[in-house]
Chain A
Amino acid sequence: MSIPVIRSFISFWERMNGQKQDAVKSLGALAVIFILAVLVSPTTATGSNIFLQLGNLTDVLRQGSIVGIISLAMTFVILTGGIDLSVGSILALSTTVVALVLTRWQHGPSYPLEIATAIFIALLVSTTSGALSGAIIAVFDVQPFVVTLAGMIGIRGLAKWLSNNANVDVGFGQDVASTFAAIFRGKTITIACYAILAAVFYILLSRTIFGRYVRAVGDNERAALYAGLPIRRVKLWVYSLSGLLAGFAGVLYAAENHQGNPNAGVGYELDAIAAVVIGGTRLSGGKGTIAGTIIGTLMIGVLTNMLRLNNVDSNVEMMIKGGIILLAVALQKQGRQAR
């Protein structure tokens, strides 16, 4: 490469603002992990690389979609300087509600309508849970950690109570519940849902007024107040969206697992937060992108897949995941100190 090209690249790099630089760095890390996964991947009997198989790559996307969807909304919550610990429980509630509604339906009008209604009810319940947390946080100024912690416990209790602590099985027959599962467990649908939601939230954060407000509130809430921003409304919306997406993830989960499960989603809030943090969003709020979160989700997905293809013990897998989170945060800190 000739010197002028290098120089123009360097000046291009320096003129990019900090956020774009961070995104490129994250992308670079993802590329490194991807290449590594290709290199260490086992091969089939015919010699083709297993990791690069289209089926495997789409598996990775599908496996990461549910937590990925939750992470999208979690990005918004963390950007406002808050946190939502209740998303795993909301997911459980959503799976339970959608399975209960579908399996209780004996003589409905038509399958598409019943399925849509069940999904709608599940989403309504989830969004309301999120909105409740959001209202308490916004109006009574209680710490998000505490409010959503209470939500985490209480909402799971609600889910267990609704189903009498039993799983609500969705069969493999011809009834409406089985049809729902057959449609929504498909890889294409799941990945498409994630992709569409990712695009929507990307635009929401980077192009809309609401997105600006979210970042401003997290960056400096006092300054946002003095600048006349509708802080309470922003917070209420952000937690409602978190509930909505957790509910959506729950619908997909119910289809994938063929059951409503009030014990589902334990620990999913931490996985979502991990993806958000690896993607470059700071827990203190104000700084972060959806692109980063998507990259974080993909990084975890590719890493996990690489480890599993090489049959690394799943406990070692968890230790490595923990290490990656620390590494990611340390790298981000390095970049910041230099400025």
Chain B
Amino acid sequence: MKSLRVLATLLLALPAISCNRTTSGKRQFFVAFSQANNAEPYRAAQNELMTRLFTQAGDVNLVIADAQQDNSKQIAQVETFIRQHPDLLIVAPNERAALTAVMGEAMEQKIPVICLERDILQPNYTTLVHSDNIVIGRMAGEFIRDYLIGKYKQPKGNVVEIHGLLGVEAAINRHKGATDVLAAYPNIKVIADPVADWIQARAKDRMTEVLRGQSSIDVVYAHNDPMAVGAYLAAKELGREHEMIFVGVDGLGGPAGGIKKVADGILAATFVYPLCVDKTVEIALQMLRNPSFHPAREYTVAPQLVTPQNAAELYKQTTLTQ
């Protein structure tokens, strides 16, 4: 019996740990954000920016849940959010197929849903805010082609493409965009296409395997910056980092981000994949404060190419605003 008392006391202490119980007089909007995986730097940057912007707004109570890359967990978290009937639900889906149905349930419960950055299989959302990964892929393909022409005086070369999580729209489209461009050049060959799930350490391991099997590599194109850096580290360990260039995507600011890596010469290029958070918060606040506002079905935010030419300038810009 004594132990049950201990258990009860421990559990009663819980409400103290829970965050975001508001008691202020002013009307607070409850915004729930289901994030796919806090461990990715891109997503961590999203969380941080979103928190800052909503705090600045002053009338929003933001709660963020981390699904840790587990679909079942994210589904359960979204379901629990639905139970709490937030004023707005923002979801960054871990995988398209998995999250489609539950977001549909949120819509059925008349909860407005913003789908952030990753698309799902059916349009079960009020609005989708994303950047066009096909455009990024195409820009990357063009960059690679131009580089190879510059190196060999003709469009030929060996490319290693490192994929992100395969079920995700970003990976699919960054691949598609680049492939669409490069398909026109039969002598530009993709000699290896390992999968590293967006994670730097995994990319390093995969790249090491590729390096052992391939004697001549010209370009490494990774679907995000951490993977590109991982590949760079693998090549560096084997002393081959000057044999090839490394291209990534994300272009985050700050000392750990892709822009700095370009400025430092580790990456040859990256593409600022916008966090899409500015736009999301802007639309969200309008939806919350103005009941008659009907957002467009989708909003596209444009990407930007980062090369050593503009890296230093961009870094100053983005790091100041962070």
* Partner-B contacts on A (CB < 8 A): 28-29, 32-33, 36, 40, 42, 44-45, 50, 53, 55-56, 59, 63, 66, 165-167, 169-172, 185, 253, 256-259, 261, 264, 266, 304-316, 320, 323, 327, 330-331, 334
Contact = CB atoms under 8 A, between A and B. Distances in A.
B181 interface: no
B31 to A, nearest CB: 12
A33 B11 contact: yes
Interface in B199-241: none
Contacts of A66: 72
Given A166-B166, A167-B166, A314 B65 contact: yes
Contacts of B158: none
A166 B19 CA distance: 37
Contacts of A320: 14
Given A28-B4, A331-B3, 20 more contacts: A36-B11, A40-B14, A50-B83, A53-B83, A63-B75, A166-B167, A169-B96, A253-B72, A257-B72, A258-B97, A261-B95, A264-B71, A304-B76, A309-B83, A311-B65, A312-B14, A312-B19, A313-B66, A320-B14, A330-B3
A55 B68 contact: no
Nearest to B109: A55
B163 to A, nearest CB: 9
A101 to B, nearest CB: 17
B79 interface: yes
Contact of B97 (A42, A169, A311, A312): A169
Contacts of B6: 327
24 contacts: A32-B7, A36-B8, A36-B11, A40-B15, A53-B83, A59-B83, A63-B75, A63-B79, A66-B72, A166-B166, A257-B72, A257-B75, A257-B95, A257-B97, A266-B70, A309-B83, A310-B14, A310-B21, A314-B73, A320-B14, A327-B3, A327-B6, A327-B10, A331-B3
Given A29-B7, A166-B167, A171 B121 contact: yes
A315 B70 CA distance: 14
A44 B109 CA distance: 14
Contact of B4 (A32, A55, A63, A323): A32
B80 interface: yes
Interface in B47-97: 63, 65-68, 70-73, 75-77, 79-80, 83-85, 95-97
Interface string B189-202: 00000010000000
Nearest to A40: B15
Contacts of B292: none
B83 A316 contact: no
A29 B83 contact: no
A178 to B, nearest CB: 10
B97 A167 contact: yes
A257 to B, nearest CB: 4
Nearest to B98: A257
A172 B80 contact: no
Interface of B: 3-4, 6-8, 10-12, 14-15, 17-21, 63, 65-68, 70-73, 75-77, 79-80, 83-85, 95-98, 100-101, 121-122, 166-167, 195
Contact of A59 (B4, B79, B167): B79
Nearest to B195: A165
B196 to A, nearest CB: 11
Contacts of B166: 165-167
A308 B77 contact: yes
A281 to B, nearest CB: 19
Contacts of B12: 36
A182 to B, nearest CB: 9
B108 to A, nearest CB: 12
Given A28-B4, A305-B80, A327-B7, A258 B17 contact: no
B103 to A, nearest CB: 12
Contacts of B71: 257, 261, 264
